[in-house]
Structure 1
């Protein structure tokens, strides 16, 4: 796939313009979005991602279009997992609903910047070190195991990292609107608002390390990796307010993501065997029996896994609620 510097420049400029618009149109004035507002903007951004994918398929071929949609679905699912952790952080710091938009917006921008950096590093590694596919594959299998066990038991707001930050910085006990710092008794203090952003930035770093190897297991095109991540993050703020109550009902989301990560991990290992150059594996030659999983199968598998995890979660939570109601 040949992407010119001009196309890269336009893509990055348009992405930045969307986030700047988001800030000035929706985030600058603190308020809690309505369900209608969140639904409209969520539908807009998802529709925009679909239109872009169709256009990419028409212009560059449906192999690349399929890679984009598989990557977008994977990154969207991982982003929803992001939202679950964001919800835990917001609750842990007791961030007022009116100020949560600002925290989310800054967190999403940090996520995009970090993912952009990891995309560049990943592209360089793949271009120069074919054995990196083995590393990515093994890493994703480890992440799948960790995800299957559930990763949301602890409160990130009370993690060892945040306790260290509190010891280093003077922190006020209360929020001062959406200010990050305030002057009090002749001294500059950090507000819980800034601590919340620091916590989300740290979580963004962890998720960037998780998500980039996952999408590189579906496509080696850095441009597709970037746009899939950008579209997955666009509208995430509105999605947070739209499905805030639903997040807690997605009890099988972790297991669904574990299946997806394991699948991509296996796909990467098979690809690594297929293009093998490691001397102590098959004499440095590609392993002929190692199949290349087609992108249509990846797209179908990822979509089906997300659907099954969502439906199973809703069925279970509805049954649990029914049992509680009957016992009262």
Structure 2
């Protein structure tokens, strides 16, 4: 039987995480700038190291089950957060957000994401506690999301949503950005700045990703504390990762298939778990289906790491092959002169 984590550890962890987030927010507000490649790399390494230290504490203060669940949950959320970056890049380009304020915009987006995910985590935990059949719905939703991720048409991701189009018609929006300000004065009229539109675009995007990621991590652990901390650690370094990966994201062509496979795998795991704990009267007479295998956390961890590694390596190899082909084509187009 899995033992509970000490209450003092959970409270201390949440206090420390809150302090780190507030410090990060203040740093962004006081030093608005475009981070260099070296700076972004150091911050990403710092947050990854922080997550691994926290995982180590989970192993020591809790047990192997807690530690492995956090690692698997964190890696799942981290991979799904990388998928967020693709959409963030599109949003920044679509609304021509100046690079010098992109850090602040991303930080606000991350805070919105954390608030939304906390709400979904609490709702998800309550549903799981009272309705075991919710795993069927979570599993089916992840299987659908996996299929859409792999084969869906994402060409319209940069288009404005109906909500933003309606807002543009009803609210006066200034033509230009004025730093990170939400309100400004143009020709004596008070108007909202385009930052409001960007925040709404990021917020609605985060809402969609929360719908995907929360069922995914509940397929690994049912502990609300582990679910929330895994989300926090996955999102904390997202801002720096945005500037670090920037142009690289476009080269990771197969990453979406790796993420789709992870969602598919966890969807299958959730359906198996639902069958194993089945209480629905029209399935097996309301009895548990004991012959259905339960996929353990370590298997999930291996599958998640392998999926991301294979997708990333395959993407980089293809990008390199394509670059060589383009190079050969350019060389073929260059006229060659021979001495007669």
With the shorter chain as reference, the TM-score category is over 0.9
Deviation string, structure 1 residues 18-75 (Cα, Å, up to 9, x no partner):
1211122234332101111111111010001011111101221111211111111110
Query: Number of aligned pairs?
Result: 328
Q: Provide the residue aligned with 1:296 in structure 2.
A: 298
Q: Which residue of 2 aligns with 1:242?
A: 244
Moved more, 172-181 or 254-263: 172-181
* Aligned with residue 313 of structure 1, among 308, 312, 315: 315
Indicate conservation of the 8 Å contact 1:53/1:69, yes or no: yes
Q: Hey, what's the Cα distance between the residues in 2 that align with 1:298 and 1:173? A: 48
Post-superposition shift, 1:5?
5.3
Gaps of 5+ in 1: none
**How far apart in 2 are the matches of 1:321 and 1:191?**
40
| TM-score in terms of structure 1 length | 0.96
Instruction: Specify which of 227, 234, 258 is matched with residue 256 of structure 1.
Output: 258
Listed as ranges, the gaps of 5+ residues in structure 2 are 331-340
* 1:108-147 superposed matches below 5 A: 108-147=110-149
Q: Quick one: distance in 2 between partners of 1:157 and 1:191?
A: 19
2:198 corresponds to which residue? 196
Task: Tell me the equivalent position of 2:272.
Answer: 270
**Structure 2 CA distance for partners of 1:198 and 1:99, relative to 1, 3 Å:** same
Greater C-alpha Rg: 2
Partner of 2:180: 178
**How big is each residue's C-alpha offset from its partner over 1:247-268, in whole Å with a ceiling of 9 and x where there is no partner?**
1111111111110001000000
**Range with greater deviation from structure 2 (263-272 or 247-256):** 247-256
Identify the residue that residue 217 of structure 2 maps to in structure 1.
Answer: 215
Matched, 1:89 2:99: no
CA, structure 1 residues 170+253, in 2 after alignment: closer, same or farther (shift >3 Å)? same
1:3 deviation in Å? 4.2
Q: Given the two structures, how large is their TM-score scaled by the length of structure 2?
A: 0.93
CA RMSD of aligned residues (A): 1.4
1:230 partnered with 2:225: no
Counterpart position of 2:171: 169
Residue number among 148, 151, 154 corresponding to 1:149 in the alignment:
151
